[in-house]
Structure 1
Amino acid sequence: MKDVVALGELLIDFAPVSTDDAGYPTLKAQPGGAPGNFLAALQQYGCSTALIGKVGDDAFGRLLIGTLDSLGIGTRGIIADACAFTTMAFVTLDGTGNRSFSFARKPGADTCLRTDEINRSLIEECRVFHFGTLSLTDEPARSATQAAVAFAKEQGKLVSFDPNLRKPLWLSEDAAKEQIEWGLHQADIVKISDEEIEFLWGLSPEEGAQKLLREYGVKLVYATLGPKGCHFANRQGCGQVDSPKGLHVVDTTGAGDIFGGSAMSQFLRLNKAPEELTVEEMRAVTRFACCAASLSTQTHGGITSVVPEEQVCAIL
């Protein structure tokens, strides 16, 4: 039985390592994709995981499957498609390590996952099913994601959701809002950023978290605040944890996903329903996740930037 099964994109992040005199970057290929980053953190922190998705039947696709295999993340739910290229994301960084993305995805293999290709046995065997919105941007992956979520809920699984907003991938902001709203209504546990809350409702993180609890049926909310930390909430109460200070940020790629996976790893250890966590239990989970995510920003990449648990505990 797997602790967590995620559905979604597995892709190559091309990150700049240097720039020539004319401004052209030298890029390094790295394994990424929000669900992959999320599962890498879970796997590092003692959970068993698997991914459902699609890559191209090409060199990058084979590398990505090999990377997940080497980490112990289950890959029998990943399809290699000879008719589509593995999705690629080109990352640009500002002076503080914050990133923006351009995607080669017209279409990318991740958008081509069909409903009939979903490995339902993986969902049947898991404790938590996780998804994000990149698999909701295009068909047939949108219908496949909706079918997988419906099946997970029928099976009584906890559902975890991360909006992971990437505006360039949507036809319009209204389309993005519609699909994010759908995802939020499906979820028991939500990791959402302050920027995403502002985008959806124009609210503060604290107000957004309470809205999710009251109006969407969400049971546990992590509203991340970038370098400031995270606000957490469930029906037992709420609070905030600051990120550790004094760390040199190189690249924030994947930090939010690693926060989500790290938080999920600690939540599962408690073996409690998400709505039953005490404020102090939520605070401990969130502190661990803030530290793990912050440490991941000290190097490039997503999947490969998850640090061992002893390094997280050293700064807790």
Structure 2
Amino acid sequence: MAKIYFLGECLVELRELDDATMAQSFAGDVYNSAVYLKRCFPKITVSMVTAIGSDRLSEKMLTRFKSENLDTQLVFRHPSKVAGMYLIETDDAGERRFTYWRNDSAARKVVEFLSDGVVDQLATADMFFFSGIPLAIIEKHSRNAFWQKLESLKQAGVKLVFDPNYRSQLWAHKEDAIEQFDRAFHLSDIALPGVEDLTVLYGIESAQEAVGFCQQYDLEEIVVKDGPKSVVTLAGTERLSHQISPVTNVIDTTSAGDAFNGVYLGARLSGRTIAEAVQLGAKAAGTVIQHPGAIAPLAAFKQAMSEAGI
């Protein structure tokens, strides 16, 4: 049975319903990807690797993980830290704005829990996924230890998967992000960048240019997401441009890329071709953006993916 670990942070999500009421849920880029992968490919073992607090919201978060059928053996409890939180606001076009409260987030301490025994357990996986967000939030003094642990996984034959997912407010300096992302690209086997992230950091303006940028690294598979326009992939010498059917009923673009990542990786772990995986990932993303919040309602999501052939 295929197995994938997702390392990162899940946060408490707040979304305004009216001037006096907010809806509360849970979200975070790697968590969102894990959820959508598991919903579409239930036979794959999907595990979260994170740290949460001992507070009531952390307890509810753990319950939510389990309700989505995610493995929680490597969800660690920090005795004094708490769950991070964010407020999401969207404009009339569905574009989002975030306000974060995460300085005391337990997930910042996750590297402290990655003992040799835990790394040995991670080494049993087929894939290990991480993004630019955990790279930004883990404490600077823990980064070298983090890279050493990923090198151990690489040597054990685990495919490392990286999505830059750049958030400028999480980095003190853009140069820090570039340095960390360079290490991630060098070490990874699969990269899932979005053009928008590379534009901000490297001045890259197109998907084709992004593929060219990624070719300097020893990547087996490059998957460049260009919003609603297209997805461009490169595996070996095969470069493909995949057209994406546009969605007109855009409610909230939060988690579109996360949904794509999760379903794409699930499809690849299930033996689907790159072209098939891209279309399934695009269908997932197109479904998610028609619902508010990061996690689409289960019934609506599964219905849409059933129509896509899952």
1:233 Cα offset (Å): 1.8
Do the aligned residues in 1 keep the contact of 2:12 with 2:57 (CA within 8 Å)?
yes
Distance 1:162-1:141 versus aligned 2 partners, 3 A rule: farther
Alignment partners' CA distance in 2, 1:192 and 1:159: 14
Q: Show the counterpart of 1:220.
A: 221
- The aligned runs of 1:225-264 (5 Å cut-off) are 225-264=226-265
The one-letter amino acid of 2:262's match is: G
Matched, 1:158 2:143: no
Work out the percentage of aligned pairs sharing the same amino acid.
Answer: 22
Instruction: Give the conservation status (yes or no) of the 8 Å contact 2:189–2:218.
Output: yes
What SS is found at the alignment partner of 1:293? helix
Name the counterpart of 2:101. 104
What is the match of residue 69 of structure 2? Answer: 72
Residue identity in the other structure for 1:312: M
1:125 is aligned to: 124
Structure 1 245/168 Cα, relative in aligned 2: closer, same or farther at 3 Å?
Answer: same
- Once residues 178 and 88 of structure 2 are traced to their aligned partners in structure 1, the CA distance between those partners, rounded to angstroms, is 24
Give yes or no for contact 1:43–1:49 (8 Å, CA) kept in 2.
yes
Matches within 5 A, 1:47-86: 47-86=44-83
Aligned residue number for residue 170 of structure 1: 171
Question: Which amino acid letter does the alignment assign opposite residue 13 of structure 1?
Answer: E
Deviation at 1:171, TM superposition (A): 0.6
- Structure 1, 147-156 or 41-50: larger mean CA deviation: 147-156
Q: Give the aligned residue type for 2:127.
A: V
**Counterpart AA for 1:199:** V
Residue 243 of structure 1: how far off its partner (Å): 3.0
AA at the equivalent of 1:156: G
CA distance in 2, matches of 1:69, 1:147: 30
Question: What's the offset of the Cα at 1:2?
Answer: 5.2
Deviation at 1:305, TM superposition (A): 4.9
Partners of 1:130 and 1:199 in 2: CA distance: 22
- Following superposition, the deviation at residue 116 of structure 1 comes to 4.2
Using the alignment, how far apart are the partners of 2:36 and 2:133 within structure 1?
Answer: 19
Matched, 1:286 2:287: no
**Consecutive unaligned residues in structure 1, runs of 5 or more:** 272-280
Structure 2 counterpart SS, 1:74: coil
Check the 8 A contact 2:174/2:201 in 1, yes or no. no
* Structure 2 residue aligned with 1:208: 210
Structure 2 equivalent of residue 296 of structure 1: 288
Per-residue CA deviation, residues 201-243 of structure 1 (Å, 9 max, x unaligned), is 2222212112212x11111111111122322222232222233
SS at match of 2:73: strand
Structure 2 gaps of 5+ residues are none
8 Å Cα contact 1:11-1:55 kept in structure 2: no
Q: TM-score, normalised by structure 2?
A: 0.89
Partners of 1:14 and 1:28 within 8 A in 2: yes
Tell me what 2:3 maps to.
3
Partner in structure 2 of residue 28 of structure 1: 23
| Distance of aligned partners of 1:158 and 1:112 in 2 relative to their CA distance in 1, 3 Å threshold | same
CA distance in 1: counterparts of 2:287 and 2:113, whole angstroms: 39
With over 3 angstroms needed to count, the CA separation of the structure-2 counterparts of 1:291 and 1:125, relative to structure 1, is same
- Residue-by-residue CA offset, 1:44-94 (whole Å, 9 max, x unaligned): 121211011111111111111111111111111011212112011221212
Which structure 2 residues correspond to residues 180-219 of structure 1 after superposition, within 5 A? Answer: 180-203=181-204, 204-213=206-215, 215-219=216-220
> Deviations 1:76-124 (Å, cap 9, x if unpaired)?
1011212112011221212111212221111311112234445224312
Partner of 2:150: 149
CA-based RMSD: 2.1
